[in-house]
Amino acid sequence: MRSQKARLNDWLFKDEDAPGTIEAAQQPFDTFGPMSELRRVVQQSRTPMQQGAHDCARILVAESDPYHRRVLRVLLANPGISAIEVEDGQSAVDLLSLRSFDMILLGMNLPIMTGPDVVRWVRRSQTPWCDIPILGLIGGEDRDIVGRLMSWGMTDWTPKPIARQHLGDKLVGLMPNLARAGL
């Protein structure tokens, strides 16, 4: 039995062909990989990584409710769309700095950084993605602030519960190249 004070080097197998295996294993992990790598990339450049042209629309879905995320996953299941989901506003902002997206589908009641905070942050930032289309997912309790959200820079909105036809029309209206995707 290993003691509680055993060092990581005592029980890790080191592969001589893979230098830095132990060092990489000691780093804390999150859903995107080692935190040190994420910090290094963000500190190196405040601009998104350059990516080549892509043949599908890249949509960032920021929604805290698992039911609505599942509905959006089904509605956006299309070969012409690549959707990445996050559960909070801070993760959405972090991903914007790491990857290029064509649109944001944004829920309003997000933890850590709310939907309105994300809208204001994106529009006030001096970044290449400051003019990305933002489609707000507005629940009944948020309908009274739609005008304020639009003045802060939200491009358009769609009500919850989300209807396939209405969402498809909004997406095609904001990104005409999605018309051939058959939404």
At 18-49, the pLDDT tens digits run 444 444 444 444 444 444 555 555 555 444 44
Residues 6+ apart with CB under 8 A from 14: 21, 22
Is 4 part of a structural domain of the chain?
A: no
The count of domains in the chain is 1
Q: Dig out the tokens for 168 from the structure.
A: 């498809």
pLDDT for res 183: 65
Indicate whether 51 belongs to any domain.
no
Q: Residue 76 maps to which CATH number?
A: 3.40.50.2300
Q: Are strands 29-30 and 33-34 parallel, antiparallel or unpaired?
A: antiparallel
The reply to whether 176 falls in a domain is yes
Does residue 14 form part of some domain? no
Predicted confidence at residue 67, as pLDDT, reads 92
The range of the structural domain enclosing residue 66 comes to: 58-181
pLDDT of residue 10: 43
Structure-block tokens of residue 28: 């804390």
**What per-residue confidence (pLDDT) applies to 16?**
47
Domain membership of residue 46 (yes or no) is no
d(CA 106, CA 15): 44
Q: What secondary structure letter does DSSP report for 183?
A: -
Low-confidence ranges of the chain (pLDDT < 50): 1-35, 45-53
In a domain, 24, yes or no: no
Q: Name the pairing type of β-strands 134-138 and 29-30.
A: unpaired
Residue 158, pLDDT score: 92
Residue 37 belongs to a domain: no
| pLDDT reported for residue 123 | 92
> Does residue 144 fall inside a structural domain?
yes
